[in-house]
Amino acid sequence: MALTINQNGKPCYQWKTISELKEDDYLVINLNENQLESKLNNVEEWEARFLGILVSEGYISSSDVKCPYYRIGITNTDLQLIKDFRVGLENSLKRVRSQF
């Protein structure tokens, strides 16, 4: 979405591709937390941290096809990351257990 000037010289909002943008156009950016009108609650800080650590430093693996169990962990020795990962894992497990 761009704020631009129409043929009458008045400001207006208009959808434009990058190739259509002009020097005096302004991009309009929605900074609202719920910009996609999601009905989901915001992610808690511990959850965001846990998922970030899992994606960047972590792994989930299975060892046996016949009797599968899964391992989850991280490959980092930073004590604060390990602590945050443990808190996130414990909170996630509590959440899963509370649903049963």
pLDDT tens digits for range 51-83: 999 999 999 888 777 777 888 999 999 999 999
Pick the closest to residue 27 from 39, 15, 37 (CA basis): 15
Share of the chain above pLDDT 70, in %: 88
Q: Report the predicted TM-score, pTM, of the whole model to 2 decimal places.
A: 0.55
| Residue with token string 């016949």 | 66
In terms of DSSP bridges, do strands 70-74 and 2-5 run parallel, antiparallel, or are they unpaired? unpaired
- Give pLDDT, residue 11: 85
- Over residues 11-18, the mean pLDDT reads 86
Run of H or E including 51: helix 45-57
Give the separation between CA 72 and CA 58, rounded to whole angstroms.
7
Question: How many Cβ atoms from other residues are within 10 Å of residue 26's Cβ?
Answer: 12
| pLDDT tops 60 at residue 36 | no
Q: How would residue 15 be classed by pLDDT, with cut points 50, 70 and 90?
A: confident
